[in-house]
């Protein structure tokens, strides 16, 4: 049976983002105040995936070990709050490398589809960047742009933050019923 997914960008969507060079000084991810309650509110029939560009690894601004530690701490905090992230997909490649995974390329989603039977038409992508919304539109997900989104690519929906994005998903479902 296929599953419905909510794909989540991380930086600038679930946690604070910074100018590239400032990431070198980050010792823990600054989780936005709405993130945990929003994720706790997601109906259990959705499977959650994080899909994140981490070109700072490939560009030697943060090490893989630092990324891994920061991310594991974040996932552990979510787990303590009973939020399960099924899998994280990240692209570590520098931007000048022509990889297939850097959003808006679809490689990370293809990777996901190798392991999970996701019905993309019943899935959502929440992100704050043009690359997130472009990717979502390419793969046929509903796209929800949050926070500082200013790009020209038109999302399915705009929400100020993830909490309101999840409300939109839930209310959309109930109004369909």
Considering only residues 130 to 169 of the shown chain, the ones binding Zn ion according to CB under 5 A are: none
Query: Which of Zn ion, Mg ion, none does residue 11 bind to, with CB < 5 to 8 Å depending on kind?
Result: Mg ion
Q: Is 11 a catalytic residue?
A: yes
67-75, 87-95, 129-137, 147-155 -> range binding Zn ion (CB under 5 A)? 87-95
Residue from the set 12, 56, 136, 166 that interacts with Mg ion by CB under 5 A? 12
What lies within 8 Å, CB to CB, of 4 at 6+ separation is 45, 46, 47, 118, 119, 122, 123
Whether the Cβ atoms of residue 46 and residue 4 lie closer than 8 Å to each other: yes
Residue among 12 and 92 whose Cβ is closer to Mg ion: 12
Binding residues for Zn ion, rule CB under 5 A, total 5
Considering only residues 120 to 139 of the shown chain, the ones binding Mg ion according to CB under 5 A are: 128-129
Query: Which of Mg ion, Zn ion, none does residue 163 bind to, with CB < 5 to 8 Å depending on kind?
Result: none
Whether the Cβ atoms of residue 126 and residue 6 lie closer than 8 Å to each other: yes
Dist. CA 5–CA 3, nearest whole Å: 6
Residue among 78 and 101 whose Cβ is closer to Zn ion: 101
Query: Which of Zn ion, Mg ion, none does residue 12 bind to, with CB < 5 to 8 Å depending on kind?
Result: Mg ion
Angle at 150 between CA 139 and CA 47, to 5 degrees: 40
Instruction: Give the residue numbers marked as catalytic.
Output: 9, 11
Q: What residues make contact with Mg ion under the rule CB under 5 A? A: 9, 11-12, 128-129
Q: What residues make contact with Zn ion under the rule CB under 5 A? A: 91, 93, 99, 101-102
């Amino acid at each position: 049976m296929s599953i419905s997914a909510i794909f989540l960008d991380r930086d600038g969507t679930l946690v604070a983002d910074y100018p590239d060079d400032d990431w070198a000084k980050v010792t823990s991810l600054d989780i936005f105040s709405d993130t945990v309650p929003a994720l706790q509110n997601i109906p259990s029939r959705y499977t959650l995936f994080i899909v994140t560009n981490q070109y700072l690894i490939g560009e030697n601004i943060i090490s893989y070990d630092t990324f891994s530690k920061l991310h594991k701490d974040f996932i552990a905090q979510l787990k303590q709050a009973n939020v399960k992230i099924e899998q994280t997909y990240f692209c570590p490649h520098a931007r000048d490398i022509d990889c297939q995974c850097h959003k808006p390329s679809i490689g990370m989603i293809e990777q996901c589809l190798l392991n999970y039977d996701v019905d993309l038409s019943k899935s959502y992508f929440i992100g704050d960047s043009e690359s997130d919304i472009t990717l979502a539109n390419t793969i046929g997900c509903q796209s929800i742009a949050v926070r500082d989104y200013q790009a020209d690519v038109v999302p399915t929906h705009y929400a100020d933050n993830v909490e309101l994005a999840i409300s939109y998903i839930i209310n959309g479902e109930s109004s369909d019923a």
